[in-house]
Amino acid sequence: MKEHPPFQLANNTITDPHILAVITRLDSTRTFPAQGSREAMITDPAAFAEHGFSIHPAQGELIYLLCRAMRATRVVDFATSIGMSALYFAAAMKETGGQVIGAELVPEKAEVARRNLAEAGLADYADIRSGDARHTLKDLGGPVDFVLIDGWPGNSGHSLAYEVLQVVAPQLRVGGYVLNDNAEPDFISYIRNPANSFISVSLPIKGSTELAVKVF
């Protein structure tokens, strides 16, 4: 996993000191598992409960800015892990009066995420669902404005990113965004095929970050 410049408070997106304190703590305490652990990641995500694998600040700020720009009120965080991406989403939801729906398979991680959101004063703006996202995200309660697909190695023919996209894309409104970390090949070929109702760009953030918008 690539290192990135330390988190800086140079931008003017999130200014609440409680939220920034939690983001800064999570960013400065990242841990990375040993190389070659992909097999174990597929078979036992719980073995990685100590590792956040969190999005980088530039991705978080982009999420925050776009959610504010579109006045998003129902957004999805797959997956939540210990809550870094959920913090950026929930910070935006605090301003728009909305809610982030998070999905996390490992219960200990979901609990840590809830604690981090509470410490940031954002508990009221987040619904973190424990369990397999392919089930917990089936009913999002209405049209969704923004989805993060920050996945995990899958154990079937398709990546988890692709499979979760199939669950959430029908619930995304036209004009809604999908942001993807990890660039899973089957996900990328699906989202870049205009017949699938998306147009998409690859942004040079953390290697490559795919940003797509649903156009019909």
Among 75, 103, 122, 167, binds ligand SAM (CB under 6 A): 103
Pair of tokens at residue 169? 């894309």
Among 66, 70, 74, 85, binds ligand SAM (CB under 6 A): 85
Question: Which parts of 94-216 are beta strand (E)?
Answer: 99-104, 126-130, 144-150, 172-181, 198-203, 209-214
Spell out, one character per residue from 156 to 195, where the chain touches ligand SAM: x when CB under 6 A holds, - when not.
----x-----------------------------------
* Helical pair 107-119 and 17-28, crossing angle rounded to 10 deg: 140
Q: Binding segment for ligand SAM among 30-38, 46-54, 172-180, 191-199 (CB under 6 A)? A: 46-54
Say how far apart CA 137 and CA 68 lie, in whole Å: 23
**Rounded to the nearest whole angstrom, what is the least distance from the CB of residue 14 to ligand SAM in the complex?**
15
45 binds ligand SAM (CB under 6 A): yes
Residue written as token pair 């174990």: 40
**Rounded to the nearest whole angstrom, what is the least distance from the CB of residue 74 to ligand SAM in the complex?**
18
Nearer to ligand SAM, 45 or 176 (CB): 45
Say how far apart CA 114 and CA 126 lie, in whole Å: 8
Among 27, 127, 145, 150, binds ligand SAM (CB under 6 A): 150
Nearer to ligand SAM, 34 or 195 (CB): 34
Among 63, 67, 105, 122, binds ligand SAM (CB under 6 A): 105
What lies within 8 Å, CB to CB, of 44 at 6+ separation is none
Pair of tokens at residue 174? 């036209």
Spell out, one character per residue from 53 to 72, where the chain touches ligand SAM: x when CB under 6 A holds, - when not.
xxx-----------------
Pair of tokens at residue 151? 């996945």
84 binds ligand SAM (CB under 6 A): yes
Say how far apart CA 199 and CA 210 lie, in whole Å: 10
Q: Looking at residue 82, what DSSP letter applies?
A: T
Nearer to ligand SAM, 70 or 80 (CB): 80
C-alpha neighbours within 13 Å on the C-beta side of residue 47? 10
Are 13 and 61 spatial neighbours (Cβ–Cβ below 8 Å)?
yes
Residues of this chain that bind ligand SAM (CB under 6 A)? 45, 52-55, 79-85, 103-106, 109, 132-133, 150, 152, 160
